[in-house]
C-alpha cells in the first residue's frame, strides 16, 4: 500500500519490506514479502497462544502444546496421534507424542484406544480450559480485529492462499531433499 502511494505521488518506492533482500531480488519479490510477513505473524501467533493460555489458567504450555490441545478439542472426537500430526503438518511425531504426554500429565487429555492405536480426547478440565481460552480470544483478539474493519471474506481468501502455498512449500521441500 505504501509502495502504491509512493508510486502515485512520483516518489521512489522503498521497495519490498523483506528480511532477506538477496532473496527478494529474484523473479518474485512479493513472495519474499509474504515470507517476512509469515515470520512476523508466526512469532506473534505463538506468543499470543502461549499468553492467552496462561490467561486462561495454564501458564506452562508451549505454542505446540496449545495447538495440539485445540486439535484434540476439534469437533469433540478422539484423535489418533497420526491424525494430529497430519492436521498440524508435523513430520516429527515425537514432538506431538511429548506434547500429548505433557497434556495428559496436566490432566487436560485422556488416553484411550481404538484397535491397536492410542487415541486422546479432552478431559473435563481440558474442556473448561479450552472454553476459557475461547472466551478470552473473543474479547482480546476477535473483537479488536473485527473492530478494525477486517472483512471475513478477505481473511478467508488469505487463509485459502496460505493453505495453497503450504503445498508449494512442501513440494519444494521434497524436491530440495532429493538434491
CB 124 within 8 A of CB 107: no
Distance from chain centroid for Cα 91: 15
Q: Kindly report, residue by residue over 113-172, the tens digit of the pLDDT.
A: 999 999 999 999 999 999 999 999 999 999 999 999 999 999 999 999 999 999 999 999
Q: Kindly report, residue by residue over 5-21, the tens digit of the pLDDT.
A: 656 777 777 778 888 88
Instruction: Classify 31-148 by CATH class.
Output: mainly alpha
**pTM for the structure as a whole:** 0.89
d(CA 91, CA 86): 8
CB 99 within 8 A of CB 58: no
pLDDT of 76 above 70: yes
Largest CA distance in the chain: 68
CB 79 within 8 A of CB 72: yes
Q: What φ, ψ does residue 121 adopt, rounded to 5°? A: -145, 165
Strand partners, 80: 119
User: Which residue, among 66, 72, 25, 63, has the nearest Cα to 44 in the 3D structure?
Assistant: 63
Amino acid at each position: 500500500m505504501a509502495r502504491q502511494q509512493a508510486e502515485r505521488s512520483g516518489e521512489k518506492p522503498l521497495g519490498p519490506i523483506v528480511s532477506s533482500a538477496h532473496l527478494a531480488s529474484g523473479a518474485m519479490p512479493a513472495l519474499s514479502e509474504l515470507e517476512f510477513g509469515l515470520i512476523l505473524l508466526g512469532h506473534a501467533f505463538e506468543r499470543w497462544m502461549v499468553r492467552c493460555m496462561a490467561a486462561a489458567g495454564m501458564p506452562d504450555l508451549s505454542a505446540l502444546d496449545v495447538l495440539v490441545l485445540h486439535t484434540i478439542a476439534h469437533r469433540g472426537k478422539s484423535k489418533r496421534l497420526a491424525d494430529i500430526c497430519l492436521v498440524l503438518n508435523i513430520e516429527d511425531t515425537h514432538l506431538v507424542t511429548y506434547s500429548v504426554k505433557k497434556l495428559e500429565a496436566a490432566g487436560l487429555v485422556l488416553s484411550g484406544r481404538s484397535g491397536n492405536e492410542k487415541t486422546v480426547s479432552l478431559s473435563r478440565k481440558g474442556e473448561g480450559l479450552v472454553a476459557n481460552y475461547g472466551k478470552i480470544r473473543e474479547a482480546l483478539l476477535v473483537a479488536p480485529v473485527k473492530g478494525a474493519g477486517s472483512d471475513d471474506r478477505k481473511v478467508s481468501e488469505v487463509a485459502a492462499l496460505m493453505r495453497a502455498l503450504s503445498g508449494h512449500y512442501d513440494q519444494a521441500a521434497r524436491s530440495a531433499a532429493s538434491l
